[in-house]
Structure 1
Amino acid sequence: MQSNQLPVFFEQLTQRLTDAPSEVRRLFHGRGRCFSGLEQITCDWVNGQLIVALFKEGDARFVEELKRGLLALATSELWRSTTGRSIVIQYRYKEGAPSEVLIGELESNPVVIESGIKYQLNIGRNQNFGLFLDMRYGRDWVREHAQNKNVLNLFAYTCGFSVAAVEGGADKVVNVDMSRSSLSKGRENHKLNGHNLNSVSFLGYDIFRSWGKIRKLGPYDLIIIDPPSFQKGSFALTKDYKRILRRLPELLTSDGRVLACVNSPQVSCNFLIDSMREEAPSLHFVQRIDNPPEFKDIDSEASLKVMEFAY
């Protein structure tokens, strides 16, 4: 990262804060590589907190000048008008992803709003907040298509898709994830929105060892697949994704839909389209769901891919 490009960062940040969003949002997305010299910095707006993340160490002056600029922002009329409360830098390239509070106090467990739905985040202790902001349109799509549906949410994490599905009127949602702690956070996200948990299941299973249990709770009208790109010992994208796709015909209803997601720059949309054709040829590609505009990428194939398939 280059300190001489920081004026561009602050120019973009000022533009976005001039009309500060009322919901949680990405304000600056350097990782889309649209801003030369700023490819490893992002900035999110979280209930009046400015969370700046650095993914790689910059030149010797970069952090010093970044801090100076953020402190100057905190004394500006613009900052006062946004009712900003704190500014935090998270060093994602360091072990443990430590955070440094520059201004105010970090609210580490804020309840945020996205598309009118509540989610609780966990900031400052983990690399991820608990809600991937680039998936907003995917969650919106699920809510719009969940009415009276039986939904399977694979690699559920903190159950963002599940919450959106219940908001959309799903009859039943089955969440599957190896991390029971993540599923517990998902349960709390449902409670935040006043959902009846009798219609929601939380299964702390290894998906590849639990197809029988998952199948018994089906068939499913909608299946969501949103795996990590790589998880040591449990998931390797190019090999294991196909193992999931070949199971779809035995899990889906005759008019079922699939939302297949992948967020790796190493594979293109064709990876999912071709893999589906090989493993579940009865399903056809319908569309790619757009990513939110704040996540613009110089190469759309390198960014998040959210793909709809149907019989």
Structure 2
Amino acid sequence: MKGSMAPNSLPVPFCPRLFYTYATMVKLTVRKDRSGPVRGFHPWVFSKALAPIPEGLAPGEPVELYDESGSFLASGYFNSYGQISVRLWGHKKDEPVGTDFFVRRMERAGDIRRRYVESPGTNAYRMVNGESDLLPGLIVDRYGEYLVVQFHTRGMERWKPEVMEALITAFGPRGIWERSDVSVRNVENLGAVRGLLHGSVPDTIEILENGLRFLVDVREGQKTGFFLDQRDKRSAFRKYAKNRDVLNCFSYTGGFTVYAMAGGARRIVSVDSSRRALDVARENIILNGFDASRCEFVCDDAKRYLREPAWRFDAIVLDPPAFIKDRRKKPEGLAGYRAINEMALRNLLSGGVLVTCSCSAHLSLTEFRFLLSEAGAKTGRALTLLETYTHGIDHPQFVPFTEGEYLKCFFLKA
């Protein structure tokens, strides 16, 4: 390993370690009446779908699944004796699990991004998207020559040395930074881990997205540093900004703000509760050679700002954090989404465009659309749906894996 370990990071030794062949893997049986989802390539196998599970299995241990007649169904790793017992990572019988196993999956994932996302003007995107790239519990984001990784499960954490070696083999990054500080780890009693895993990683990385330049703080920024899943929405918004007064709420480091300037916006107000994020947003405007005097950066709670904005706008962007992080708190979250969208519509000029997003997995696209229709009725605004977006190409999803859905975005004319 090159470089030194950062505080709170875990050492990752590269040494001969786990290697499983079909002869050493645990065989589990899927009940006849529960085999449908496995045959349909759903990546999770629930405990009730399995015949009695042997005692003593550790998270991350490779398993093969068979039906009651003894026919092979899929392979994966044992997750827990709780609700999700197995997370699937293959549908090929007798596939040994080791570093080469992970290299093959990463090369497959990388091929999709290189074909459909990467270009001379874009060098930042999600490289590995967990279950839908047959690497359940693993997230890998590319920022230029650097990678940022997240291990979401104890099972994938067990394979960290092999995963690291595979990342270096498949992608050859200058550095890898870990941001395993997501709340989902709490479910498996895993603490937050941040730190250097390979090479060196600068405090700030400059990336390209659709020819525009952005500064990214992968160490302390939100998620892994940038909202890569909004790339296509930012690009789509560009055409609506020409000669418009724009309000960008929950603006973070100014992604939509930069695209609006690139589209010829007349004036832009960016609102976020983080002064540091707004400072980076201003730097991003200057980095792209735009006139910062046409931009105002307001450090405030976006919901409070929407109650009494300085003026009304031709275009408004709402890209809030998830208001529904727990289905038990869905009513409160729905109330929050209604409130900000109603306020935005009241502050939107006639004929204006509202771009409104939700990243709450517990709110479906249909529910979000109905909520917006209610907001339109309450504010007396007839809403026309111009464009609809979900995940981007670099965030692929298996069709049966509806649990992986979270992002939805509507472009509305009022």
SS in 2 for 1:288: strand
How much does 1:268 deviate?
1.0
Equivalent residue runs for 1:240-279 within 5 Å: 240-279=336-375
Contact 2:323 2:360 in 1 (8 A): no
How much does 1:247 deviate?
1.8
Residue 273 of structure 2: aligned partner = 178
Residue 113 of structure 1: aligned partner = 208
1-structure distance, mates of 2:244, 2:412: 16
- For residues 222-269 of structure 1, what are the alpha-carbon distances to aligned partners after superposition, in whole Å with 9 as ceiling and x for unaligned? 11110000499xx96322110112223421111011111111211111
SS in 2 for 1:87: strand
Q: What is the total number of aligned residue pairs between the two structures?
A: 295
Contact 1:248 1:280 in 2 (8 A): no
How much does 1:122 deviate?
0.5
2-structure distance, mates of 1:287, 1:70: 36
Question: 1:12 is matched with which residue: 103, 108, 112?
Answer: 108
Contact 2:245 2:314 in 1 (8 A): yes
1:125–1:176 Cα change, 3 Å: closer
Equivalent residue runs for 1:135-146 within 5 Å: 135-146=230-241
Residue 28 of structure 1: aligned partner = 128
2-structure distance, mates of 1:127, 1:178: 13
1-structure distance, mates of 2:243, 2:363: 34
- For residues 180-225 of structure 1, what are the alpha-carbon distances to aligned partners after superposition, in whole Å with 9 as ceiling and x for unaligned? 22111111111111221211111112233333541x322x111111
The answer to whether structure 1 residue 225 and structure 2 residue 318 are counterparts is yes
Contact 1:97 1:125 in 2 (8 A): no
SS in 2 for 1:309: strand
Task: Give the alignment's TM-score, normalised by structure 1.
Answer: 0.84
1:170–1:8 Cα change, 3 Å: same
2-structure distance, mates of 1:18, 1:140: 19
Q: List runs of 5+ in structure 1 lacking aligned partners.
A: none
Q: List runs of 5+ in structure 2 lacking aligned partners.
A: 1-59, 61-76, 78-88, 90-96
Equivalent residue runs for 1:54-65 within 5 Å: 54-58=151-155, 61-65=158-162
Residue 296 of structure 1: aligned partner = 396
How much does 1:114 deviate?
0.3
1:61–1:182 Cα change, 3 Å: closer
Contact 1:154 1:177 in 2 (8 A): yes
How much does 1:58 deviate?
1.9
Contact 1:267 1:302 in 2 (8 A): no
Equivalent residue runs for 1:42-57 within 5 Å: 42-57=139-154
2-structure distance, mates of 1:201, 1:213: 16
Point out the more displaced range, 58-67 or 175-184: 58-67
Contact 2:103 2:167 in 1 (8 A): no
The answer to whether structure 1 residue 200 and structure 2 residue 288 are counterparts is no
How much does 1:96 deviate?
4.8
2-structure distance, mates of 1:64, 1:129: 20
2-structure distance, mates of 1:272, 1:231: 12
Contact 1:289 1:306 in 2 (8 A): yes
Point out the more displaced range, 179-188 or 145-154: 179-188
Identity %: 25
2-structure distance, mates of 1:285, 1:10: 37
Contact 2:315 2:348 in 1 (8 A): yes
2-structure distance, mates of 1:7, 1:14: 10
Point out the more displaced range, 258-267 or 200-209: 200-209
1-structure distance, mates of 2:113, 2:304: 47
2-structure distance, mates of 1:16, 1:208: 38
Root-mean-square deviation over aligned CA pairs: 2.8
Residue 67 of structure 1: aligned partner = 164
1:291–1:13 Cα change, 3 Å: closer
- For residues 160-195 of structure 1, what are the alpha-carbon distances to aligned partners after superposition, in whole Å with 9 as ceiling and x for unaligned? 101110111000111111222211111111111122
1:89–1:17 Cα change, 3 Å: farther
How much does 1:18 deviate?
7.2
Point out the more displaced range, 284-293 or 10-19: 10-19
- For residues 89-129 of structure 1, what are the alpha-carbon distances to aligned partners after superposition, in whole Å with 9 as ceiling and x for unaligned? 43234655412322x21123011110011110011234524
How much does 1:289 deviate?
2.6
